[in-house]
Structure 1
Amino acid sequence: MGIDAGFDMDPPLSKGVVDKQNWGRFFINLIKEQYKDDVQVEIMPNYINFNAGEHPKLPFEGHKFLRFSSKVSGAIASNLGVERYINTVTRVAKAHFGPRVQYWHEGADQYGIHDWKKVNDSIRSYEQPDVFETQDSIRQLLSETDPVKEQDIALFEVQDIPGKGRGLVARFNISKGTRIICEKPLLTAGPMPPNKLESFLTKELKEMSKTSQRQFLSLHNNHRGKNLFSGIFRTNALPCGSGSRIGGVYPTACFINHSCIPNAHNNWNSEQEHETIHAIRPIERGA
């Protein structure tokens, strides 16, 4: 008997390109680096084994992973400090996978999402790597599936960029062809004088949710003066299609900074009325 604690991955990772890259290249490699001098952490052929508590494991094949946990009370847990490993690995996992990482602690009446039979089956599967994993990866790369849909974490984050204000920065390496953003505009408007545009935007903003209002007001304004709303719009609006006289302002896409050598391309979908941004060349993490 004892108290269990750990985290579940929900939804579980897929076999897709993006999830595989985020798990293996970034998360697993970071854990290896974190514990490279720790004699209690053992790198096995197919997983990382933590020789503490009930020996929680991290597989190299992320789609098999459901839970990282152990007893954290009693002699078996306290002697080797397994809870310290659980807390650190949870923190690193949250940084990479966000809300998919569900921490729980039975001492606080919190319990894992996945049932123990599935968890134990998944752990047993770590020993035998998938024979067709490489073929599956190649098949997906050649298909028309959108790997971004396989995850619910953003490939980017908004950061302060010296000399450029705030902009989007890649959280992971992004492959050419990946869809980075797909979003509808907060609002749209056609060409009109600043005063008339200001009145139009004031009316539109009153109809928007508080969240959308905050998103709009957080955007940069290059046209300082009495017409705040039209200044933000004129600074950030993107044409709704090539040659369109209608412009749209977006909560995320408007943070993309201009480059003479662009790494992404935008496209307006007139039927769905949303803007998509695709990588037109590989984008490195931090770019």
Structure 2
Amino acid sequence: MIQNQLKKAICFGEILWDNLPSGRLAGGAPMNVAYHLRKLGVDASLISRVGDDQAGRELIDFISSMDIPAENIQIDTEQRTSEVVAELKENNEMVYTITYPTAWDYIVWQNDFEAKIANADAFIFGSLSARNEVSRATLLQLLEHAKFKVFDVNLRAPYYDKDSIATFLSHADFVKLNENEIAMLGDWFTAQHHERSVVTALMEKFQLSEILITKGADGGTYYNTNQRINYQAEKVVVVDTVGSGDSFLAAFLSKKLAGEEIVYCLNFAAKVAGFVTSQKGACPSYDTASLGF
């Protein structure tokens, strides 16, 4: 197997407390992705912002306890740390109520960011982190210096619009999204309705090199300019689906950055995401060797 050789990744955006039906957990897609990347052998870090409050201090303590560097977590003296209320609906789908504004809406540019981003093998970002103009401006500046830009679309109503998504697609190299999101992007940006035709049109319009569509229990499909590869989801007893997509993306990227074949990356990611779905929370403790990964 090809060794990872401590590839570097930086995740940008929201970190928060998820108030779930089962209790309070630290969350946010960028943090979840960073956690799993580090678990899987990538030197991942996080750029975000918390309030100068008890919730913020507890969040930084948690991040540090997860072995995620907190050096790029900014402290905001005016905005509060983000809190989210999550409700479990039918089909094990989580619906989130996300407060606005919060500290991570005000991530500001730091002079040392340019070198850090330029030195990273992957830069991962989502649409939610750009709902406010301050963090959006910082994100766009970061994208100018990133080598390999991974856009985890992650639409959260009402915090997105067609123009913003078009901007981020035009900056991205790799896009991860779900079935609902690919349908929406197809309606917005193409005259196509069949998945493969939509993907081809999006790749051409935005000069994308890779698109990964996750389909929950039905697995998903990976596309690049030469390949279309389906993968199967692991059959597990679902405890909750919080963070399963984040773990899938992290696991896939950990192997892709290591130079593994795409089929292997997809199958490995499905195993990791299946395990996470069978556990409570987005960041369960695990050891890849003992789990047979």
Could you tell me the TM-score, scaled by structure 2's length? Answer: 0.25
Could you tell me the TM-score, scaled by structure 1's length? Answer: 0.25
